[in-house]
């Protein structure tokens, strides 16, 4: 029953070996196995977006991916952005715009926004709202999050908002 | 003693939040993030019957499963601890026994029945699947009306009925008001059941300290102090044996402010097994077992004289409490608040409200952001709009005429609540100005003429915040949380530390309280360390709820901060050999401008604590750099607001889009405009959810259909409009610092404003919105019926 | 909410996957993106003995032009890949429009066409698109390879004509009319639709020469409204035949009542979505 196996996960540029069962969700492997508790679990059915991470640069739900499936991919979690003493550009925008309150949805928001930002195309407010519609926030009413991301995109895409 | 800081540097400024760097970098510590060594994991088997007797429980197979350490049921717990009751001084109120695991009988789908402890959560869930329970189903009651008239199969047979609360409020002569009225408008309103849905599901990690044989409960709670006190009671522990810590909490909104069975269970198991024990609820469990909200039916009528002035309001309120009267708020909380706040910010000479609260086979209901006031506001503001329409008066003018006027404060409402001076009319005017009401009405008329279903909705309300000791957060509740303390100190390194009994669930209290302390003492907010959310940090810890923290803790912070500043100056004056009045403090440095002599806090801290010989003996006896102060605002203070929303309804798909939203609020002196704006926007977004999509749905047998986020819908960024929050401070609040609470207001006004806008958009069909959420399905039915009646 | 225990096998080609499926006789499940399967596992609605991971099989990720103008899209191609595919965007512009309605970005980044077809959710976009585009679904089983027409593929809600040992290799799209209309209405952005309709129109000399109408979320399977299609041919779109098509769609659908909408409301929406999609497609066809 306990068919455990050792896998290697590449997380934030580092290779980690850990022992998992095939059924272990990537979110749990990151949190329990590697102690990377910045990736939060909010629903385990792919709706809330709190567990969003980047897999090879693309946003995905880590509650809907088995840890064993993540082998061979580059995983980026919120811990791979700036740390608390060195917030990255996007994290700073979130802080400046008060784009977080309780902070629980924030790592997922940041990862979704990181993917958007990396596309380096200008987006309307409507585009950003649609792109974020898979990340639920219960505190902010979203305005400040949209403002932070809009400004980050405007300043990096070379185009106006 | 006056508490106006002469030149506030930080209070009122958009100071960036102190909590953000950790939360933005994934370095927060939520209860589920705590990973004690060799922690055990709990899975809870919950009832899948709404009402049944437990015939037998067989745990043998589960106990034999891999990784299983222990499996306990209600009987095992009952022999070791006592139940809790949410008591109240309210006459006729009937409390219900609260056991952490069901004994003999289950009363709602989701009620905890068995707890499985295993070495990891996966294995615990495997073992859970092997538990065998035999139930004997009982008739379930899910309709409050049926519960009220039921003659048998009571949820709590010892009470002989399902009625838990029955109360009547009366003021003036409502019979006369109605019989003499020029017009009476009325309606029956249904405020359906919702659930808070914090994005962090509830989580509890009981960390066992082997050395000290003590427990620390890391809890996703808004009220670590209340929980600590309750756990000490249930588990028969003294204070130091149990500490409740709420470091970072992923949203609460009322859903994390009651005592939960799982908090008792993990603590009990950690003690029993002398191991750390962790329980993290999954979303399904959260949706069926976190306290739910609303679920009231209200019949209300409003009497008006010939000029359109309100003569009186009469209401009968039937509340559905769910299965239990929860600790400590009781089943009376929501429905009684509706009765309390139904007269709203208007002049209502006569008032009568009848409140009945019944038990049903649904999840227990509890506080949710706004508590009772979203429902009260929805009902009242619908009646106001209906009355305005009857009299052919513009709804804005109708409100202006009936609101409590500036010269009428303090105003005692029909329910006995006293409004202190607050900007009722000023908020109305400001909202109208910001949204350009006159132009908006023209646009609406043009849009309607062109066939669009476009509407404008207004909602005005007032709430009591920062409740002091003379007002209870819940009716008759024995726990009085009307005071809050602040302990401020400068330590031997010159650092400023301020400790509070509150907790932060996202409101940025670490920042706002630091701003206050920083101004009082003369340091930068980033140099003030705020400690709270920890029952062990302070003699009496409470928590954050009822829009109280900033008013109460902020007031105490002013007092304690001022006292520490005086002590600091005394020490500095002696060290610098000068008069206190000659000294200034800025950014952690004491300066004598005349001589340009300076002493840093570090210098003073070292002198006071480590070089005490520098002070004369008399001064040494009394000199420390700390102060603890309490603040009790006694009654609380009034926060008022007007919201205006516009909506567009697709006449074919019945989708409602909220296009614009303006909220004008008098929340007193603003400590941090950005934080206040965020609170309002977040509250409004939740209120829009209530208005348009959020609804807990049960079938008649009590099965809950909305047990996933696919079926319980909360608004995403795509459904929420940009929300314009504007503030005014019409009159200085009587509280220390002039603060009024504002954490809940957005949720209070939004359901009413959106409902009124929808009714306005459908005015050509004369449709009343009496039930929320206004889903496409409900609107389809209303419009179809209206069209049939027309034809 | 954690998945039940299962074994895991990573297949390196379709044949391995078929062999593993066959060996477990119905107790194995394929996983690619897992965006439908994983929630079911997390809720423990399924308890397979074995999960066969086909997400790393390169041959399932092709997008290529086949014979007689057909496009062949591998089962492992993700919704996201369709959104960014220029060649498919040119030949079947409706695909790109429909993909923006598939859940959210992170789901589209993982979810695959094959997964969506095999899951057979009548409210999902791919089953309806397959039916609308007269697609053929290429599958491989122990008894070999076969092609299944979309109209024969969807048998009921979450029920397809795939055998226990079969894996979808690709979806084959024959040339189709380019002018399109696609509308769906959902409670929130990205939610499963309460109702939706897709329309394709071909015109010759200003008249409709070919019309296709398909519905989603309105029955146990996606639905083609063949009656209405035939009646539109040879005509301009006008208020009479538009209304007739809407009525035909309403008559063709057999929706269920659930939490989010009643059957009656969904029938109403079937007409509305059909009308709007017809308008959009006609607008494109004649411009």
For an interface test with A, give the residue of C84, C106, C190, C191 to mutate (most A CBs within 10 A): C106
When CB atoms are compared, the residue of C51, C56, C106 closest to A52 is C106
Contacts of B784 (CB under 8 A, 6+ apart): none
pLDDT at position C287 is 81
**CATH number, domain at A101?**
1.10.150.120
Same structural domain, A47 and A23:
yes
Tokens of B368: 């949710």
Please judge whether A25 and C51 are an interchain contact, meaning their C-beta atoms are less than 8 angstroms apart.
no
- The verdict on whether omega for the bond into residue B410 sits within 30 degrees of 0, i.e. cis, is yes
C187 contact B CB<8A: yes
For an interface test with A, give the residue of C80, C104, C115, C187 to mutate (most A CBs within 10 A): C104
Please judge whether C265 and B776 are an interchain contact, meaning their C-beta atoms are less than 8 angstroms apart.
yes
Please judge whether B506 and A96 are an interchain contact, meaning their C-beta atoms are less than 8 angstroms apart.
no
Chains that touch B (3 or more CB pairs under 8 A): A, C
* Closest CA of chain B from A15, distance in Å: 19
Same structural domain, A65 and A99:
no
Comparing C-alpha atoms, which of B93, B68, B225 is closest to residue B545? B225
- Cα distance between residue A157 and residue C31, in whole Å: 37
Give the fold, CATH level 3, of C7-53: 3.30.43
A66 contact C CB<8A: yes
Mean pLDDT of chain A: 95
For an interface test with A, give the residue of C39, C101, C105, C191 to mutate (most A CBs within 10 A): C105
Please judge whether C106 and A21 are an interchain contact, meaning their C-beta atoms are less than 8 angstroms apart.
no
**CATH number, domain at A75?**
3.10.20.30
Which CATH number is B293-470+634-790's, of 3.30.429.10, 3.30.365.10, 3.40.50.2300, 2.40.50.1070?
A: 3.30.365.10
Comparing C-alpha atoms, which of A143, A22, A11 is closest to residue A79? A11
Q: What is the mean pLDDT of each run of 10 residues along chain B (791 residues)?
A: 63 96 98 97 98 98 98 95 93 95 97 98 98 98 96 96 95 96 98 98 97 96 95 94 97 97 98 98 98 97 98 98 96 95 97 98 97 97 98 98 97 93 96 98 98 98 89 76 92 96 92 97 96 92 85 95 95 90 92 92 95 90 92 90 98 98 95 96 98 97 97 98 94 89 93 98 96 98 95 82
Please judge whether A72 and C53 are an interchain contact, meaning their C-beta atoms are less than 8 angstroms apart.
no
For an interface test with C, give the residue of A6, A20, A23 to mutate (most C CBs within 10 A): A23
> What share of chain C has pLDDT > 70, as a percent?
100
Domain count, chain A: 2
Q: Which residue of A has its CA nearest to C1?
A: A44
**DSSP β-bridge partners for residue B108:** none
Same structural domain, A93 and A144:
yes
Provide, as residue numbers in chain A, all residues whose Cβ is less than 8 Å from the Cβ of C80: 58
Comparing C-alpha atoms, which of B42, B50, B43, B53 is closest to residue B133? B53
Same structural domain, A9 and A63:
yes
**DSSP β-bridge partners for residue B244:** B217
Tokens of B257: 């402010």
Comparing C-alpha atoms, which of B654, B731, B656, B640 is closest to residue B688? B656
Q: Which residue of B has its CA nearest to A146?
A: B717
Domain segments of chain C as ranges: 7-53, 61-173, 179-285
* C 51-90 residues inside an 8 A Cβ radius of B: none
Same structural domain, A23 and A60:
yes
DSSP secondary structure code for residue C220 in this structure: S
* Domain stop point among A80, A114, A142: A80
When CB atoms are compared, the residue of A64, A112, A130 closest to C39 is A64
Q: Which CATH class is domain B20-28+483-631?
A: alpha beta
C260 contact B CB<8A: yes
B21 contact A CB<8A: yes
The pLDDT tens digits for A42-57 are 999 999 999 999 999 9
Provide, as residue numbers in chain C, all residues whose Cβ is less than 8 Å from the Cβ of A63: 38, 42
Same structural domain, A105 and A123:
yes
Backbone angles phi, psi at A46, to 5 degrees: 80, 15
For an interface test with B, give the residue of A138, A144, A148, A152 to mutate (most B CBs within 10 A): A138
**DSSP β-bridge partners for residue A60:** A53
ipTM score assigned to the predicted complex: 0.97
Please judge whether C109 and A63 are an interchain contact, meaning their C-beta atoms are less than 8 angstroms apart.
no
Count of A-B CB contacts under 8 Å: 196
Give the fold, CATH level 3, of C61-173: 3.30.465
User: Looking only at Cα atoms, what is the longest distance across chain C?
Assistant: 62
**Cβ count within 10 A of residue B148:** 18
C191 contact B CB<8A: yes
* Domain stop point among A80, A113, A143: A80
The pLDDT tens digits for C138-159 are 999 999 999 999 999 999 999 9
Q: Which residue of B has its CA nearest to A25?
A: B122
Give the fold, CATH level 3, of B34-138+200-250+256-289: Aldehyde Oxidoreductase; domain 3 (3.90.1170)
Q: Which CATH architecture has domain C179-285?
A: 2-Layer Sandwich (3.30)
Residue with tokens 């109702």: C195
Q: What is the mean pLDDT of residues C179-207?
A: 96
Interface residue ranges in chain B relative to chain C, Cβ cutoff 8 Å: 121-122, 125-126, 129, 282-285, 652-653, 655, 693, 697, 705-706, 708, 710-711, 713, 715-716, 718-719, 775-777, 780-781
Same structural domain, A126 and A59:
no
Contact status, residue A38 vs residue A53, Cβ threshold 8 Å: no
Contact status, residue C169 vs residue C74, Cβ threshold 8 Å: yes
The size of chain A, in residues, is 161
Comparing C-alpha atoms, which of B534, B448, B473, B474 is closest to residue B498? B534
Please judge whether B200 and A40 are an interchain contact, meaning their C-beta atoms are less than 8 angstroms apart.
yes
Q: Which domain holds residue A14?
A: 5-80
When CB atoms are compared, the residue of A1, A106, A133 closest to B23 is A106
pLDDT at position C108 is 97
* Closest CA of chain B from C186, distance in Å: 9
The pLDDT tens digits for B705-728 are 999 999 999 999 999 999 999 999
Tokens of C161: 């004509």
A41 contact C CB<8A: no
Please, what is the angle between helix B673-692 and helix B745-761, to 10°?
A: 50
Backbone angles phi, psi at B57, to 5 degrees: -130, 125
Chains that touch A (3 or more CB pairs under 8 A): B, C
Provide, as residue numbers in chain B, all residues whose Cβ is less than 8 Å from the Cβ of C2: 121-122, 125
Please judge whether C43 and B284 are an interchain contact, meaning their C-beta atoms are less than 8 angstroms apart.
yes
The pLDDT tens digits for C65-98 are 988 889 999 999 999 999 999 999 999 999 999 9
Domain segments of chain B as ranges: 20-28+483-631, 34-138+200-250+256-289, 293-470+634-790
Comparing C-alpha atoms, which of C28, C191, C185, C51 is closest to residue C107? C191
Provide, as residue numbers in chain C, all residues whose Cβ is less than 8 Å from the Cβ of A3: 5, 7
Contacts of B486 (CB under 8 A, 6+ apart): B498, B499, B500, B513, B517, B553, B556, B557, B559, B560, B561, B628, B629, B631
Comparing C-alpha atoms, which of B168, B177, B173 is closest to residue B415? B168
CA B457 to chain centre: 25
Please judge whether A61 and C41 are an interchain contact, meaning their C-beta atoms are less than 8 angstroms apart.
no
Tokens of B26: 């994934």
For an interface test with C, give the residue of B652, B694, B699, B709 to mutate (most C CBs within 10 A): B652
When CB atoms are compared, the residue of A43, A129, A143 closest to B723 is A143
What confidence tier does A158 reach under pLDDT thresholds 50, 70, 90? low
DSSP secondary structure code for residue B110 in this structure: T
């Amino acid at each position: 029953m306990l068919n455990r196996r050792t896998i290697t996960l590449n997380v934030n540029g580092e290779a980690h070996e850990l022992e998992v069962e095939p059924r272990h969700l990537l979110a749990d492997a990151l949190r329990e196995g590697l102690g990377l508790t910045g990736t939060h679990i909010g629903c385990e059915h792919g709706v809330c977006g709190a567990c969003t991470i980047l897999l090879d640069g693309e946003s995905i739900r880590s509650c809907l991916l088995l840890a064993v499936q993540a082998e061979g991919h580059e995983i980026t979690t919120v811990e791979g952005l700036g740390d608390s003493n060195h917030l990255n550009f996007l994290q700073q925008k979130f802080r400046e715009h008060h784009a977080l309150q309780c902070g629980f949805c924030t790592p997922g928001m940041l990862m979704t926004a990181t993917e958007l930002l990396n596309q380096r195309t200008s987006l309307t407010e409507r585009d950003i709202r649609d792109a974020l519609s898979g990340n639920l926030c219960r505190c902010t009413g979203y305005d400040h999050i949209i403002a932070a991301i809009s400004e980050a995109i405007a300043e990096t895409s070379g185009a106006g908002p | 003693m006056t508490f106006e800081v002469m030149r506030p540097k930080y209070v009122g400024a958009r100071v960036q939040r102190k909590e953000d760097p950790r939360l933005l970098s994934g370095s927060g510590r939520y209860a589920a993030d705590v990973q004690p060594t060799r922690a055990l994991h709990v899975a809870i088997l919950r009832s899948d019957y709404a009402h049944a007797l437990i015939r037998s429980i067989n745990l043998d197979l589960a106990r034999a499963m891999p990784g299983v350490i222990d499996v306990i049921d209600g009987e095992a717990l009952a022999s070791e601890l006592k139940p809790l009751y949410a008591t109240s001084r309210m006459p006729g109120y009937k409390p219900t026994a609260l056991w952490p695991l069901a004994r003999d009988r289950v009363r709602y789908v989701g009620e905890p029945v068995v707890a499985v402890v295993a070495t990891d959560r996966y294995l615990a869930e495997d073992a859970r699947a092997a538990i065998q329970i035999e139930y004997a189903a009982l008739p379930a009651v899910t309709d409050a009306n049926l519960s009220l008239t039921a003659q048998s199969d009571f949820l709590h047979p010892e009470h002989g009925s399902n009625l838990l609360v029955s109360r009547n409020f009366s003021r003036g002569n409502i019979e006369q008001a109605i019989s003499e009225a020029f017009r009476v408008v009325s309606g029956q309103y249904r405020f359906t059941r919702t659930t808070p849905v914090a994005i962090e599901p509830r989580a509890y990690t009981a960390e066992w300290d082997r050395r000290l044989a003590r427990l620390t409960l890391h809890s996703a709670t808004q009220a670590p102090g209340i929980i600590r006190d309750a756990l000490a009671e249930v588990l028969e522990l003294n204070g130091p044996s149990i500490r409740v810590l709420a470091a970072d909490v992923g949203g609460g909104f009322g859903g994390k402010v009651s005592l939960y069975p799982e908090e008792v269970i993990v603590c009990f198991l950690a003690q029993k097994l002398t191991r750390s024990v962790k329980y993290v609820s999954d979303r399904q469990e959260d949706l069926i077992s976190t306290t739910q909200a609303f679920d009231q039916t209200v019949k209300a009528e409003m009497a008006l004289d010939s000029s359109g002035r309100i003569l009186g309001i009469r209401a009968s309120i039937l509340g559905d409490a769910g299965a239990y009267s929860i600790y400590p708020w009781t089943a009376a909380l929501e429905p009684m608040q509706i009765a309390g706040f139904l007269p709203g910010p208007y002049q209502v000479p006569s008032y009568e409200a009848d409140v009945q609260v019944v038990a049903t086979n649904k999840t227990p209901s509890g506080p949710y952001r706004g508590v009772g006031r979203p429902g009260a506001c929805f009902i009242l503001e619908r009646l106001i709009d209906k009355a305005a329409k009857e009299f052919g008066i513009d709804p804005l003018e109708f409100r202006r005429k009936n609101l409590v006027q500036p010269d009428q404060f303090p105003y005692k409402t029909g329910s006995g609540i006293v409004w202190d001076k607050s900007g009722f009319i000023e908020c109305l005017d400001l909202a109208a100005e910001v949204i350009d009401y006159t132009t908006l009405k023209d646009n609406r008329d043009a849009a309607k003429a062109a066939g669009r279903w476009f509407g404008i909705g207004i909602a005005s309300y007032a709430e009591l915040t920062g409740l002091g000791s003379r007002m209870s957060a819940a009716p008759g509740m024995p726990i009085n949380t009307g005071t809050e303390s602040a302990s401020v100190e400068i330590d031997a390194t010159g650092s400023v530390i301020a400790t509070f009994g509150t907790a932060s669930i996202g409101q940025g209290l670490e920042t706002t309280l630091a701003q206050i302390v920083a101004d009082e003492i003369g340091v930068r907010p980033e140099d003030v360390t705020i400690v709270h959310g920890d029952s062990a940090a302070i003699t009496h810890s409470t928590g954050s709820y009822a829009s109280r923290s900033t008013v109460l803790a902020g007031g105490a912070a002013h007092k304690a901060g001022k006292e520490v500043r005086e002590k600091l100056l005394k020490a500095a004056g002696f060290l610098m050999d000068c008069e206190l009045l000659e000294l200034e403090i800025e950014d952690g440095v004491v300066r004598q401008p005349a001589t340009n002599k300076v002493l840093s806090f570090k210098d003073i801290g070292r002198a006071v604590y480590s070089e005490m010989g520098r002070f004369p003996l008399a001064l040494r006896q009394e000199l420390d750099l700390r102060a603890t102060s309490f603040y009790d605002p006694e009654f609380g203070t009034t926060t008022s607001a007007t919201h205006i929303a516009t909506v567009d309804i697709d006449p074919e798909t019945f989708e409602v889009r909220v296009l614009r939203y303006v909220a004008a609020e008098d929340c007193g002196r603003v400590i941090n405009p950005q934080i206040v704006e965020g609170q309002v926007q977040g509250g409004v977004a939740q209120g829009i959810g209530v208005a348009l999509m959020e609804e807990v749905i049960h079938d008649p047998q009590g099965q809950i259909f909305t047990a996933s986020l696919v079926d319980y819908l909360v608004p995403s960024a795509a459904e929420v409009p940009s929300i314009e929050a504007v503030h005014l401070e019409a009159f200085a609040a009587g509280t220390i610092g002039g603060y009024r609470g504002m954490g809940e207001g957005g949720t209070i006004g939004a359901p009413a404003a959106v409902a009124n806008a929808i009714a306005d958009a459908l005015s050509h069909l004369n449709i009343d919105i009496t039930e929320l959420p206004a889903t496409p399905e409900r609107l389809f039915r209303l419009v179809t019926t209206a069209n049939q009646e027309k034809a | 909410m954690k998945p039940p225990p299962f074994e895991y096998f990573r297949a390196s080609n379709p044949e391995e996957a078929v062999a593993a499926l066959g060996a477990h006789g119905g107790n194995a499940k394929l996983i690619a993106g897992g965006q439908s399967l994983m929630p079911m596992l997390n809720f423990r609605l399924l308890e397979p003995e074995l999960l066969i991971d086909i997400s790393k099989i390169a041959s399932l990720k092709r997008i290529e032009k086949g014979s007689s103008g057909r496009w062949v899209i591998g089962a492992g191609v993700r919704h996201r890949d369709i959104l960014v595919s220029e060649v498919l965007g040119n030949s079947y512009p409706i695909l790109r429009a429909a993909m923006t309605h598939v859940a959210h970005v992170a789901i589209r980044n993982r979810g695959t066409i094959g997964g969506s077809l095999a899951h057979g959710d009548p409210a999902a976009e791919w089953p309806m698109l397959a039916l609308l585009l007269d697609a053929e679904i290429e599958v491989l089983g122990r008894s070999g390879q076969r092609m299944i027409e979309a109209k024969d593929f969807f048998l009921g809600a979450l029920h397809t004509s795939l055998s226990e040992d079969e894996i979808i290799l690709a979806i084959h799209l024959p040339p189709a009319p380019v002018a399109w209309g696609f509308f769906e209405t959902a409670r929130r952005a990205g939610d499963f639709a309460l109702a939706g309709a897709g329309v394709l129109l071909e015109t010759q000399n200003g008249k409709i020469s070919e019309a296709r109408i398909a519905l989603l979320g309105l029955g146990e399977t996606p639905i083609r409204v063949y009656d209405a299609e035939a009646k539109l041919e040879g005509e301009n779109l006008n208020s009479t035949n538009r209304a007739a098509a809407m009525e035909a769609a309403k008559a063709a659908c057999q929706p269920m009542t659930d939490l989010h909408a009643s059957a009656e409301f969904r029938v109403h929406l079937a007409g509305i979505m059909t009308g709007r999609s017809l308008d959009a497609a006609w607008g494109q066809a004649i411009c």
